[in-house]
Amino acid sequence: MSTFHFSPRPNRAREINWREWNDAAFADAQRQDKPILLGISAVWCHWCHVMDETSYSDSEVIRLINERFIAMRVDNDERPDVNRRYNLGGWPTTAFLTPTGEVLTGGTYIPPSQMVSYLTQVSDAYKNSKPAILQKIAEHEKARKSAQGRESDAKVSPHIVDAVVRAVLDHFDPLYGGFGDAPKFPQPDAIELALEKYFATRDERLLTVVTTTLTQMARGGTYDRVAGGFFRYSTTRDWSVPHFEKMLEDNAKLLRVLVRAFQVTRQDIFRDTIRTLTAYVDATLSDRARGGFYGSQDADEHYYALPLDARAKLSAPYVDRTFYTDWNAMMISAYLVTGREDLRAFALKTLDRLWREMDRADAGLFHFCRVDGAPQLANQLSDLAYTTRASLDAYQVTDDVTHLTRAQTLAELALEKLFDADAGAFWSEPGGNEALGLLRRRDQSLNENAVMADALIALAHFTGEEKYRATAQRALEFFAAEYARYGLMAAQYALAVDRCLNEPVSIHVIGAPDDPRARELHLAALGEYAPGKLVQLLDPTRDARVIARLGYPANGAPLAYVCVGKKCGSPQISGVNRRG
């Protein structure tokens, strides 16, 4: 059975001798001294499907590839490590490589007539001019290495946060919301940064960024107002013409920021969008029996243009039922902050499945699992970071210390497998697992380090282990000299820096978990918005040591202590001054 996913429409792409990204394929390329054709696609990708139906269905293209190349096909969602190194501007990526994996040339979608020319010219050039090509690649590699290097003494500072906030404001589209022109992507991290800094500064410009963007997206064509759920992005500035794939990742991030925006503004449109978005995810992207969220639903321009009754007569676009750990963790976190009991229960069910099926004591945490397959690709930073955060969110919602223990286990795994103690940052994936192609160049991601740092800062507060905060600060300092080149795309980094520099609002509810008064205080604490807020329900019997470390009395009626650093307000009593 083929492990590859091709267009759902008629095509001949299966006639190409596709190989998986592995040692055997590289060995054959080197033994036969053939260049590699690397196709990076995605299950949901419209133009990947078009490439299958056109270029990869052309008889001459099929012949040339099978005769002159070793063809490898990689799914972007399954292999983010390969995509990070070889993506040439989008999907599909069509990359021509040497037998050892260096890039010769390539692009994205290449139509059949041009593809024949590409295949002929690349194979002829490699055959006839190989010494010159290899010399040029060696020179580029030498120049790349000499250009490497970072400022070792750069520090995190409020200036970083201010600079990224300015980039958010500078790129904001005041007419239609969002950032920049077409194509327009949601940028939920930038929206979240604007919301957090509005709450801290009461700068109305920042609230306008949040409300205008989310309102225009929800009312525009980028939101499916028939079935619910956000499409991936808009091809137009005004959000009117979307690219029709629906991604779990995008909907998880947007759901989380919608909940926060509703908590701050109480606007009906945000409440209604949360309701229809979660209804779509429940109906289409959820494994209701086992727990878990599916990865994506395909683009289909004809289907999504129809009203509900007309859609019902057709087969819905394909849903990728692969379990992706980081995306599931994102949606777990989003469901947990909604405050809805049904969503919380499903999120916790999914988190239990994640730990049961994707974690192995002898190997670590795996990235993806196809339907009825074995989990694959261990210990990616994205999976560890987002699952640590989801476990901490679950701990705050449930007071179950199992989730805190799991978060600490993942943090220790990340420190063991991925942290570069010399440089002070986390690698995106472990070293030594593969040395194929450009995977031998290890990668450090700004945003993934930011999510991991954010989780470590929270973990330090909950455990009292200052090594987690120190590690987070080092990881953030690693990027302090280069964050500016990312512009508003550094919003996640700015959020983590802000939480590193400023003490969060921490709410400690002291009371027995089965005491209704303690539960009332706990629910009230969870329902209020504050940037980076951390909530603990502490049982005087079970958590006596923690309560003593925090300096609170452990007897009497349930109380809630709202603190910023070591400064606390008057303790709150159940049913009294809940918003104080």
pTM here is 0.96
Q: Which amino acid is at 159?
A: H
**Residue whose tokens read 């499916």:** 224
All residues at 6 or more sequence positions from 210 whose CB lies less than 8 Å from its CB, including other chains: 191, 194, 195, 198, 257, 261, 264, 265
What DSSP string runs through 235-272? SSTTS-SEE--EEHHHHHHHHHHHHHHHHHH--HHHHH
pLDDT of residue 2: 62
**What are the residues facing 366 on neighbouring strands?**
378
Domains 13-147 and 506-573 alike in fold:
yes
Are 224 and 246 in contact by the 8 Å Cβ rule? The answer is: yes
Tell which residue, 474, 447, 472, has the closest CA to residue 461: 472
The 3-class secondary structure across 81-94, one letter per residue, is HHHHHHCCCCCCEE
pLDDT of residue 317: 96
Tell which residue, 43, 36, 41, 35, has the closest CA to residue 8: 43
Are 179 and 172 in contact by the 8 Å Cβ rule? The answer is: yes
Dist CA 23 CA 437 (whole Å): 10
All residues at 6 or more sequence positions from 320 whose CB lies less than 8 Å from its CB, including other chains: 5, 43, 44, 77, 294, 295, 296, 297, 298
**What are the residues facing 204 on neighbouring strands?**
none
Dist CA 294 CA 288 (whole Å): 11
What DSSP string runs through 421-476? TTTTEE-SS-SSS---GGGGS----HHHHHHHHHHHHHHHHHH--HHHHHHHHHHH
Return the domain boundaries, the chain.
13-147, 158-502, 506-573
Dist CA 387 CA 118 (whole Å): 42
Give counts: helices (H), strands (E), the chain: 22, 21
What DSSP string runs through 132-178? HHHHHHHHHHHHHHHH----TT----HHHHHHHHHHHHHHB-TTT-S
CA 290 to chain centre: 23
Dist CA 380 CA 358 (whole Å): 12
For 324-347, letters b (16+ CB in 10 Å) and e give: bbbbbbbbbbbbbbbebeebbebb
pLDDT of residue 112: 96
- Using DSSP's 3-state secondary structure scheme, residue 555 falls into coil
Answer left, alpha or beta for residue 229, where phi above 0 means left and psi between -120 and 50 means alpha: left
CB atoms within 10 A of CB 402: 13
Dist CA 451 CA 333 (whole Å): 13
**HSE-CB for 131 with a 13 A CA cutoff:** 0
Assigned fold of 506-573: Glutaredoxin (3.40.30)
The 3-class secondary structure across 178-243, one letter per residue, is CECCCCECCCHHHHHHHHHHHHHHCCHHHHHHHHHHHHHHHHCCCECCCCCCECCEECCCCCCCEE
Residuewise pLDDT in 10s, the chain (580 residues): 468 999 999 999 999 999 999 999 999 999 999 999 999 999 999 999 999 999 999 999 999 999 999 999 999 999 999 999 999 999 999 999 999 999 999 999 999 999 999 999 999 999 999 999 999 999 988 888 877 766 667 899 999 999 999 999 999 999 999 999 999 999 999 999 999 999 999 999 999 999 999 999 999 999 999 999 999 999 999 999 999 999 999 999 999 999 999 999 999 999 999 999 999 999 999 999 999 999 999 999 899 999 989 999 999 999 999 999 999 999 999 999 999 999 999 999 999 999 999 999 999 999 999 998 999 999 999 999 999 999 999 999 999 999 999 999 999 999 999 999 999 999 999 986 556 899 988 899 999 999 999 999 999 999 999 999 999 999 999 999 999 999 999 999 999 999 999 999 999 999 999 999 999 999 999 999 999 999 999 999 999 999 998 889 888 889 999 999 878 888 878 754 443 3
What DSSP string runs through 27-86? HHHHHHT--EEEEEE-TT-HHHHHHHHTGGG-HHHHHHHHHH-EEEEEETTT-HHHHHHH
**Parallel/antiparallel/unpaired status of strands 36-41 and 70-75:** parallel
Token digits of residue 266: 């109480």
Radius of gyration of the chain (CA): 25
Dist CA 476 CA 430 (whole Å): 20
pLDDT of residue 571: 84
CATH 3.40.30.10 assigned to domain 13-147? The reply is yes
**Residue whose tokens read 């001294």:** 33
Assigned fold of 158-502: Glycosyltransferase (1.50.10)
